[in-house]
Every structure is written in structure tokens, then in C-alpha cells.
Amino acid sequence: MTPPPAPGAALEARIDALVAGLDLERKVRLLTGASAWTTHDEPAAGLRAMVLSDGPAGVRGQVEDDRSTSANLPCPTALAATWDESLVERLGRLLAAEARRKHADVLLAPTVNLQRTPLGGRHFECLSEDPLLSGRIGAAYVAGVQAGGVAATAKHYVANDSETDRFTVDVRVDECTLRELYLAPFERLVQDGGAWLVMAAYNGVNGATMTESPLLADPLKGEWGFDGVVVSDWSATRSTEASARAALDLVMPGPHGPWGGELVAAVRDGRVPEAAVDDKVRRLLRLAARVGALEGADPAAAAPDRPVPSAPGTPPAPEEAAGLLRAAAAAGSVLVRNQAGTLPLAADGLRRVAVLGPNAAVARAQGGGSVRVTPDYAVSPLDGLRTALTPLGVEVTHALGARVGAGVEPLTAAQASDPDTGEPGVRLRLLDERGEVLRSERRASGRLRWSWDGLPRRAATVEVAARLRATADGAHGLGVVGVGHFRLVAGGAVLVDEDLLPESDDVGAASLTPGRRGGRLPLRAGEEVEVTVRYRPDPAAPAARMTLGVQAPALPDDQELDHAAAVARDADAAVVVIGTTDEIESEGFDRASLALPGRQDELVRRVAAANPRTVVVVNSGGPVELPWRDQVPAILLCWFGGQELGNALADVLLGRVEPGGRLPTTWGARERDVPVLEARPVGGRLRYGEGIHVGYRAWARAGAAPAYPFGHGLGYTTWSYEQVTAPATVPVGEDLGARVRLRNRGRRTGREVVQAYLSRRSSAVERPAVWLAGFAVVQAEPGETVTAEVRVAARAFQHWSVAAHRWETEPGGFELTAGRSVADRLLATHVTVVASQLQG
Ligand code: BGC
């Protein structure tokens, strides 16, 4: 990957002149956002405002609104599970096109914190547990986004690897571990991907909160030569002087913040050097030049009108985007178990397929938090399989079987109509203090959000009215979610009338852990009922958000299980879709347990007992316990697969596409076996006491076997690994080219991720038992032999020397192994690193 060129000398000279032409107030004004998602303009410098938008699984834009939908990618863990840099780069180009469509200049993505503990709330939003894999996939993501002229942001710098007390936690981590693990992906994104922004995290590291941390100056800006903008995480900046003197450049969101007039005064008093302010402004103007926001400067990448993914720098048409997202979801799906060729299912032998489970009929396409977008659409597993199987004459049956989470689902346009017009959807009215209607409009769903900028001024009450149509007999759950006063009336009955408070004190609690209340209403199938909710947002909250939701009547739990087992028994094959939701895996809090919620384990056991051809599909962002895993014939992990989830799943289950994914993170059998689990700080501190032994490195050190090891994943063909060759010696500081020969022994064309690992028996420095050193993707026809060229970068042989504060290479012998996963290393060779004569 070639990083984008550095800005030319002429542009740098012009930026210097522009900075020199601005007085202190004007310069400082630029360094805090103008709003939640925009920066200030400065007409005198030819600078327009820039728009920042969240990611990484889509580009939300400035509003979260059902009228402004976004292409929803598989969650980042699923992207890393592809191990496919060129695919991820193409997805980055799609994101750039989406950003342009939404008038965004900066995408606040990717998230390259490491999956240190499977309990981490944003596990699904991170790429992997390995710094090399995260660095390479993350750099490809950045390269793709920026090739489209949109800036990418490496976040959250650094050690923001869990969510508990994320605003205040002080992560205690030694220098070597920081360098070799947590900083490593950021280094790759800056140096190989050429990221134009880095986001300073909420947490602290070794005593300094990240917006004031010396790590911003070094290694980021100094040693790595980062010439872009360090933006704060939203509301992460808590000081004037300390953050301004540290290398933070831009405070978000705006317009209020701790810089502004305070910073002007601090500069005037000599507490912050004006040169520090100038440097920040220079970086902001450089970013503006890159994204085309600075008059007269050529943007770093031309903004094309209607590009195709195959043509660099071009946005795809909707059908091309759908195809790309479908292929990506399949490429990231990991088949962890497949006994006796259960998969792929041969459609011609099937008459009826039962698609069961709580995640079958609802598309759980994404995790929760700032990553969320309103997807263009989302194909559920049930819909995807119905679309694929019905034309083949295969009947698809369904039962819920078990519930995941107790929550109500947002009301959809299919379930309700606007009482004013009779059209599908709900009626939204904004009322002022006197009850006068300020705005009235139809909306498609009961999920309503007014971002960090809050509601239109003067709106005191949000009113949502809908005619709900019951589709089944029984008690319907109706509920509201949000922070503020809620009054919910349905069919004349008052179900809620109270103040709802957030359930945590996180900075984003109003959106991440809102209050929830509801009640039940008995209805008959076909009956219609008027539902109205009046919501008075908390004026102190930074955002206004509410959900009006409904829960269809369900049988008592035991009967649901019996029913699902009966439906499974009557089918030729059963697909059970289990997992979590965006309320279980979310930004803002860590998971309390790795167990599947509700009675899902029981559901799998009952279905597998009823139908020997049972395929379990695990629809979660991170690892969950699968206690029955050896008693079912096939298990496929489909992650939070994005809007094409159901179609991709059908492609994989029916063998139209191979499940291409390999685990980017270890799946332990039992939570209590996981070597690095703790995410709760003690006395405000979270000690990374395991040092460099995280993920598979920790399992290897503990000598324990997980359920599914890092790198594991089956395809639909089989491979024999024949030979690994590498030069016997490699000079210190040089890359190594290894070659792995393998043969496709099966009857299908296949794709394989060839992984190379290093280990070293005796060493003067502490090392992991084994570490990923390189990987390459190959494809081969049945019977074909291919050679994977695996580049092992010089860094893979290096360690961080705390004494010397630099990377060093210990000469001597390393074992290079190659194989299908960290636990299935089939070939080995020996490489000796030799000190070159030039080494001092
Ligand atoms: C998250 C960031 C996000 C920002 C803006 C923060 O709470 O940590 O990842 O970009 O909000 O939504």
C-alpha cells in the first residue's frame, strides 16, 4: 500500500501565510467545532466549514433519521474476519462515496482499539485481537476511504479497549505492551494508511487523560511523523491549558468547549505558546486542503461523480453497493464447525426448511452506539432464506423459539399507519410550550433522534401518534425508551406517565443507556388501536432521542420452545439463528456475561434433538458461549452482518458462496477460561497486568485450548499444506518473503487464508509464545496447487526495548510456521536473523 503523498511545499507555504494572516481570536475560533458535527469556516482564509460523520459500519451524516438512510456494512470484526485487504479497501471507497452523498468530509472511523477482553462493549466495532491484523485491515480501510477524497480517523488513541468508566478510567499499561500491542495498529494506520486524523480517546493512560497525553506528541506526531489533525473524542477535552499544550488540535463537539476565550487568555498570559496554536491551525488547514475545503488547494483525491468500486475513487450505484455488501458479509462469515458435510445445504433435496430463533425474523445487522446508522434496508435471515428458497419450491417455516432481551422493537411502517393520512408510518408533531404545533410530519419508524444539536429551538414536546394494527391475538407489549418525561396512551389506557432517567452516568447515557418503560395491551388479530406518546426531553441532555416500540404477543417460554421443536421436526433441515442485539453489545458499557441471553441454549438443544440436520447461525458481534457446540452438526458465525446479512447468509448456507471468514479473535469455551477478561477498573485504574499476552497469545501462555482458535474457519473445500520456504537468513531490519505451497484437494474452487506465525524458543526478551507474522489470501481450482507469497515485515522480528526506547531486533533463530489457524500450524521452517555489518 502506498500512503498518499505529503502536501507539497507550495501548499505548506500558503498555509503558513494564511496562519500568519489570522489574529489569535480567529485562529482559536477554528480549533473548537461550530456545532456537533461541523468545524468553523474562515472566509478570510478561503476555508469552508468541514462536516464530520460517525462510522465505521456506514456513514451516518449529520442526522440520524429514517429519511436519510445509509449503506450499512458488516460490523468491523466481520471485515477483519475476511483477512482481505483489497475487499476492505473497496468497502472504504464505498464509504467515501457515502460520505460525499452525505456532504461529510471526515469519517470518524475506523476503530482500531484491540479486542483485549471479549466483554468489551465495542468489541464488535473493533477489528481484531491482534495488532498486525488490525493494523493491516485498518490501513486498507483508511486507504480506501481517503482514495475517495474523504478523511479517515484512526480512533480511539489509545487503550480505549473497554467501556466501563471509559470517561475516567486510567489504564495502567507498560511501555513495551503499549508499543507492541495497543499503539501498533495506530502506527500502521498513520504510516501505511496515511490517516489524516487521529481521535484522542476518553480514557487516560498511565496517569494522563488522552486529550492531554504526552503520547499525542510522541510517538504520534514526532516519531511517526503524523501531519494530520488530532480531534478529541466527543466532550473528551476537560482542560484548557493542559490539552492545548499537549498535541490535541481540535475540540469536538462545539460550539462550547474549554478552549475559546480561555485559550486566547492562556496564550496572552504566556501559559500556552502561540506557536502551539499556529501548529494546530496549520494542521486543520492541511486537512481542509486534503478534503477540498480550502479554496485554491487541489484536494488529495479527485471527487468523481459516479464511480464504480472497480474504478478507483468512484461511488457505486445502489445495486453495486448491495452486491459488494453481500459479498463482504459472506466473505466475513466464519464456519467454525461442519460435520459430515452438513453445509452447504443442497437445495434440491429439500422440501421444507425451518428457520428458527430470536434473530431469524429481525435483522440484527449492527451493534449499538455511535456506530449505528439507519440502514437503507436490512435483510433478515428469514427473509434472505425465503427469497432464495421459495423460487426453488422449498417451503420456509418459522418459529421464534426463545427471546433475546426483553426489549420492545421500534414500531415500523409495516405495523402502523399515520392517523392523519392513513399512510404507513407514524405522525410526528413538535409542539412549543403553549402546545402550538411547530412542525408536523410523517415518519417511517418509532425510532426518532435529534443528534447532539438537540431539537429545533422552542420545541418543548415531541408527540408521536400511530394506529397500530395487531397481527396476532394476545397481549401486545408497548413501550417507550428515552430520557425525559413520557406519557404513553394506547387504546385510551395510560401505560406510562413518568420521568425516565438514564441507566448509567456515561457521557452518552441518554442514547446509550436510556430509561425504558412499558405496559401490555390485549388485542385481537386485525384490531387497530390509537397509540400516542408525548415526550418532554430533558433540557439538560445534549440530545433528544426516543423510541416508541412494540412487542408482538408470544407464547409462554415453555410453549415457544415446544413449538420451535415441533416446527424443526417437521422440516428437512433446521436453521437456528441465535445471538445478541445492539442493546446487549454496545458502546457505553461492557457486557456482563458471555452467555447467550434468554433460553437460547435450550432452544438449540431442543431443535438439534428434533432435527439431525440442524445448522446453528450465531448472530453476534463478539464471542458468546456455545455450550452445545459439540452436539450440533454445523455452526456458522455471521456477526452483525450489515444490511445484506440475510442474503449473504442464504448464499453461504446454500453453497452459492464459500464462507470466507477466519476468526480475528479467539472464542473461548467458557467465560471462566478466558485468560484476559476483566474490564472493571479498581480504584479508577485498569491494569493491563497480562502485558503483551493478549488474545491467542494469552491462551497459548496459559496452555489452554479455546473452543475456536484465532485464525480458524472452514471453507467448502479442503487443503493440503505442502511446503513452506523462506530464506534461511534475513538481515536485521529487513522484510522476509516466505512462500507457502498448498493444494486444493476438494471438489470446489476455494479461497484460503494462509497464516504465518513466528515463535522463538530462547530469547533474552519476553515474547509471546507465538505471534502472527503475516498472511496472504489465495484461491485455487479443485486439484490446483498454488503458492501464497507471505510477506513478513521486519517489525515482526522486532521487540520494543524499554531501556533504549526503540525497536530492536534480537539476532538469532526464529521458527516460522504456516497454517490454517494459530492452533493448526502445519508447516515449519527456521529463519536466522543476522546482524548486518551496518548495524551500530
Ligand atoms: C464515541 C466516538 C464517536 C463520537 C461521536 C463518542 O462517544 O466514542 O467513537 O465518534 O462519540 O459520536
Please state the length of the chain.
840
Report pLDDT for 597: 96
The average pLDDT across 711-724 equals 98
312 CB-near residues (< 8 Å, 6+ apart):
93, 147
Beta-sheet strand order (sheet of 170-172): 208-209, 204-205, 170-172, 685-687
Residue identifier of the C-alpha nearest atom 12 of ligand 1 = 370
358 Cα to the center of ligand 1, angstroms: 29
300-80-175 Cα angle (round to 5): 85
User: Three cell numbers at 724?
Assistant: 513452506
Percent of the chain with pLDDT over 90: 88
Catalytic residue among 165, 233, 601, 651: 233
Q: What φ, ψ does residue 125 adopt, rounded to 5°?
A: -90, -15
Decide: 426 and 418 in contact? Cβ < 8 Å. yes
Pocket test for ligand 1, best of 35, 38, 53, 54 (most atoms within 8 A of CB): 54
pLDDT in tens, 170-203: 999 999 999 999 999 999 999 999 999 999 999 9
Pocket test for ligand 1, best of 108, 113, 210 (most atoms within 8 A of CB): 108
Report pLDDT for 459: 84
Residue identifier of the C-alpha nearest atom 6 of ligand 1 = 234
Residue 85 has pLDDT above 90, yes or no: yes
Report pLDDT for 405: 74
591 Cα to the center of ligand 1, angstroms: 19
User: How far is it, in rounded angstroms, from Cα 540 to Cα 501?
Assistant: 12
pLDDT in tens, 328-343: 999 999 999 999 999 9
Report pLDDT for 798: 98
Decide: 618 and 624 in contact? Cβ < 8 Å. yes
Beta-sheet strand order (sheet of 785-792): 719-725, 736-744, 785-792
160 CA closest ligand 1 atom index: 8
pLDDT in tens, 476-504: 999 999 999 999 999 999 999 999 988 88
648 CB-near residues (< 8 Å, 6+ apart):
325, 326, 327, 328, 329, 330, 333, 384, 638, 641, 657
The average pLDDT across 206-233 equals 98
Q: Which amino acid is at 242?
A: A
Quick one: which H or E segment has residue 606? Answer: helix 600-610
Residue identifier of the C-alpha nearest atom 3 of ligand 1 = 370
Distances (CA, A) of 418 to 247, 405, 408, 479, 763: 52, 28, 20, 18, 71
Residue 309 has pLDDT above 90, yes or no: no
513 CB-near residues (< 8 Å, 6+ apart):
502, 503, 504, 506, 588, 589
The average pLDDT across 80-102 equals 96
- 724 burial (CB, 10 Å; 0-12 / 13-18 / 19+) is buried
Decide: 169 and 201 in contact? Cβ < 8 Å. no
User: Three cell numbers at 39?
Assistant: 468545524
683 CB-near residues (< 8 Å, 6+ apart):
none
Residue identifier of the C-alpha nearest atom 11 of ligand 1 = 234
Distances (CA, A) of 495 to 365, 554, 644: 30, 19, 36
Secondary structure (3-state) at 279: helix
Torsion of CA 772, 775, 781, 785, to 10 degrees: -80
Is the C-beta atom of 755 inside 6 A of ligand 1? no
Residue identifier of the C-alpha nearest atom 8 of ligand 1 = 233
Residue 618 has pLDDT above 70, yes or no: yes
User: How far is it, in rounded angstroms, from Cα 484 to Cα 535?
Assistant: 7
Distances (CA, A) of 158 to 210, 488, 687: 7, 43, 14
121 Cα to the center of ligand 1, angstroms: 13
166 CA closest ligand 1 atom index: 8
Residue 305 has pLDDT above 50, yes or no: no
Quick one: which H or E segment has residue 742? Answer: strand 736-744
Write out 578-600 in H/E/C secondary structure: EECCCCCCECCCCCCCCCCCCCH
311 CB-near residues (< 8 Å, 6+ apart):
none
Range in 155-164, 447-456, 559-568, 783-792 with the lowest mean pLDDT: 447-456
Banded pLDDT at 643 (limits 50, 70, 90):
very high
190 Cα to the center of ligand 1, angstroms: 20
Report pLDDT for 754: 98
Decide: 795 and 191 in contact? Cβ < 8 Å. no
Is the C-beta atom of 201 inside 6 A of ligand 1? no
Decide: 719 and 742 in contact? Cβ < 8 Å. yes
54 CA closest ligand 1 atom index: 10
Quick one: which H or E segment has residue 577? Answer: strand 573-579
User: How far is it, in rounded angstroms, from Cα 73 to Cα 329?
Assistant: 8
pLDDT in tens, 236-266: 999 999 999 999 999 999 999 999 999 999 9
Is the C-beta atom of 233 inside 6 A of ligand 1? yes
111 CA closest ligand 1 atom index: 9
Decide: 788 and 742 in contact? Cβ < 8 Å. yes
Residue identifier of the C-alpha nearest atom 4 of ligand 1 = 234
Banded pLDDT at 306 (limits 50, 70, 90):
very low
Report pLDDT for 1: 61
156 CA closest ligand 1 atom index: 9
User: How far is it, in rounded angstroms, from Cα 293 to Cα 316?
Assistant: 23
495-512 per-residue burial string, b: 16 or more CB within 10 A, e: under 16: bbeeebebeeebbbbbbb
How many other C-beta atoms are found inside a 10 Å radius of the C-beta of residue 453? 16
Residue 314 has pLDDT above 70, yes or no: no
User: How far is it, in rounded angstroms, from Cα 320 to Cα 90?
Assistant: 11
Is the C-beta atom of 370 inside 6 A of ligand 1? yes
The DSSP code for 245 is H
Is the C-beta atom of 752 inside 6 A of ligand 1? no
User: Three cell numbers at 755?
Assistant: 497464516
Is the C-beta atom of 234 inside 6 A of ligand 1? yes
Residue 313 has pLDDT above 60, yes or no: no
Closest CA to 446 of 546, 543, 377, 551: 546
588 CA closest ligand 1 atom index: 7
Is the C-beta atom of 508 inside 6 A of ligand 1? yes
Report pLDDT for 311: 45
Report pLDDT for 304: 47
User: How far is it, in rounded angstroms, from Cα 480 to Cα 463?
Assistant: 12
Is the C-beta atom of 54 inside 6 A of ligand 1? yes
Is the peptide bond between 315 and the residue preceding it cis, with omega within 30 degrees of 0?
no
**Beta bridge partners of residue 248, listed in sequence order:** none
User: How far is it, in rounded angstroms, from Cα 128 to Cα 102?
Assistant: 29
Decide: 373 and 58 in contact? Cβ < 8 Å. yes
Mean pLDDT (the chain) is 94
577 Cα to the center of ligand 1, angstroms: 30
Query: Is 572 among the catalytic positions?
Result: no
Report pLDDT for 450: 82
